[in-house]
Structure 1
Amino acid sequence: MQGTEGRWLQTCRRRNQFWGLPHWTPAAAGRHLQTRVRQVIAPPLLSIIIPALRVDRELRRCVDSVHLALESFTGYEVIVVMPGAHVQSAADALPDVQIVAECRPSVYAAMNDGIKASNGQYLYFLGKDDILLPSVRHLLPTLANERPAAVFAAVFWGGQGRRTCRTSRWQILFFNVCHQGIVYSRNCLDTHGPYVRRFRTHGDHLLNIRLLWDTSLAPRITFASTPIAWYAETGLSSTTLDANFAKVQPAIIRRYLGTWIAWPWSVLTHYRLRWSKKPRA
């Protein structure tokens, strides 16, 4: 019997490695089933989604910061989304985290995959090089009791100090805020999601515009001055112009504010795109 079971486990391991799936032993499958049943009966308050390419020191630091910041709180889950080739190594290295294989090689596609796999009533997105701060615990009573559509808090922006994510529906049309300072409700993402994959770095900008101009959800947005994360300022969004979003942004502004406001911005966008294509010396 042991030989038959051993061959069966080896077959399962080879099959899962071929498809990029984590290897399940009977004990691990039982624990996973218990976790899923518990999540369905009592879904967590907060789902933290982290897109990543592989397991490295920065990802471990990010996951550790989440567990340390929420060590006295049990109503959360951590979901790491990465390419299927690295799912098994991630499952071995991060046993207390749910690992999800991304369907397409894109940051926003990975975030959409994390949304589908999550069970939380609120969703929060971190980059693998970011750090969650213990002050995020100050937002938990607001999420549990007031049930806002979203919470716009603050972040520490690299070495530049504290930066608030407080904005208005007029400002958000032109300038985005750091998504590491925003906690979204599931209703918000179900209504205005998913993220648009063709935008390289500003898919969340479009989501924020839709959210703040939604007259049914905007009154339920809460603004807080508490810094909840340290943003590493090393990602693409801080160093790269999203040409696809820049081309459609004037049309978005025209929809909400009219042609006279959108026209000067379209001229500015034209020169921004030309400047971004020039080779740097």
Structure 2
Amino acid sequence: MTFLCKNAEYSTTRRLLATEPFNRVPGDAAVKGGLRFLGFEKAGTAGKPLFSVIMAVFNSSAVLEHAIRSVIYQDYDNVELIIIDGGSTDGSVELIRKYDECIDYWVSEPDDGIYYALNKGIEAAKGDWLYFLGSDDVMLNCLHQLACRFVDPNGVYYGDVYYPARHKLFGGEFSAYRVMNCQIPHQATFYPKQLFLRYKFDTRYISASDYAFNIVCYNDKDFKYRYLPVLVAVYEDTSGFSTQDLDKRFHEEKNDLLRKYFSRSDYRTYAIRTFIKGFDRYFVRKIFNLFKKKAV
């Protein structure tokens, strides 16, 4: 089957189920579109799971097309793309319309932030595995390498990302201590659908709810985080929302979250090592300043 995505021919063997086209509710101010409104819906099979790629968008027209194309041109042929736009006014909606027949579901309406949008995307997702891509990030052509390796239905699979501004590969396996220190990038992580029957993103946090989400899920005994050494995405690390470290509430509550969800021994190890690192930094600064004064 071939879709003609205005300006791009997009060939696929994805399994499309003919369904009743979505009907817009009278008086609904939201702008919506995608394959589901044309009466098509994708589904996973035993040998070919469906991946739902969820993207929250707001005034991202300068970078959005690269993100969209990175999803729709995957070699793996059972992917649905869901875009939740927060009422953009910069041409993002027009760009989304350009790829209307390659996007499974999209909506544009004002919302209360990125995690409200992602939670809406979760509700719309039909996939066996959910993945969250920033509108300024690029997903590498990797799903065909990964799909056959997702054998645990309760596994949270994650790989590596590349930071272009820092020219750095970030990844590797995360221990409990490492999770307590830093976030597993959502651009590298695939979550099983059933995880979201239990958890959603906490919308009290404005830029670090994905970190809080991983803290909770990492410690759920019913799910297992599994590392795969595959480069999954290019993570825009210069001006992205999560790079601005705006989440004061999360930083104020992080220790409470760690203490609540990790074991006592894990938290004790974290607290001791954090204290030692802080003391070392303080001591090094004192020595540096002392030599600096003597040099003057």
TM over 0.5: yes
Amino acid at match of 1:224: L
SS at match of 1:201: coil
Q: Give 1:21's aligned residue.
A: 31
SS at match of 1:228: strand
Rounded Cα–Cα distance in structure 2 between residues aligned with 1:41 and 1:156: 31
1:248 aligns with 2:284: no
| Bigger proportion of residues as helix | 1
Rounded Cα–Cα distance in structure 2 between residues aligned with 1:55 and 1:238: 16
1:47 aligns with 2:52: yes
Kindly report the root-mean-square deviation, in angstroms, between the aligned alpha carbons of the 2 structures: 3.2
Q: Alignment identity in percent?
A: 21
How far is 1:100 from its partner? 2.2
Q: Is the Cα contact below 8 Å between 2:158 and 2:190 reproduced in 1?
A: yes
Render the CA deviation track for 1:68-119: whole Å, top value 9, x for unaligned.
Answer: 2x1x332110011102466963552221212124562201111001001111
Normalising by structure 1, we get a TM-score of 0.74
Rounded Cα–Cα distance in structure 1 between residues aligned with 2:64 and 2:70: 10
Once the two structures are superposed, the pairs formed by residues 224-239 of structure 1 within 5 Å of their partners are: 224-233=228-237, 234-239=239-244
SS at match of 1:180: helix
Amino acid at match of 2:112: P
Q: Is the Cα contact below 8 Å between 2:30 and 2:107 reproduced in 1?
A: no
Once the two structures are superposed, the pairs formed by residues 105-254 of structure 1 within 5 Å of their partners are: 105-143=112-150, 145-159=151-165, 160-164=167-171, 166-191=173-198, 193-218=199-224, 221-233=225-237, 234-254=239-259
Rounded Cα–Cα distance in structure 1 between residues aligned with 2:217 and 2:98: 37
How far is 1:241 from its partner? 4.0
How far is 1:240 from its partner? 1.6
Q: Give 2:80's aligned residue.
A: 77
SS at match of 1:111: helix
Q: Give 1:4's aligned residue.
A: none
* Runs of 5+ unmatched residues, structure 1: 1-11, 269-281
Judge which range, 54-63 or 243-252, deviates more: 54-63
Q: Is the Cα contact below 8 Å between 1:81 and 1:113 reproduced in 2?
A: yes
Q: Is the Cα contact below 8 Å between 1:149 and 1:187 reproduced in 2?
A: no
* Runs of 5+ unmatched residues, structure 2: 1-22, 279-296
Q: Give 2:4's aligned residue.
A: none
Render the CA deviation track for 1:182-240: whole Å, top value 9, x for unaligned.
Answer: 0111112222x21011111111111111121112212xx32111111000112122222
Render the CA deviation track for 1:231-258: whole Å, top value 9, x for unaligned.
Answer: 0112122222411111111112222354
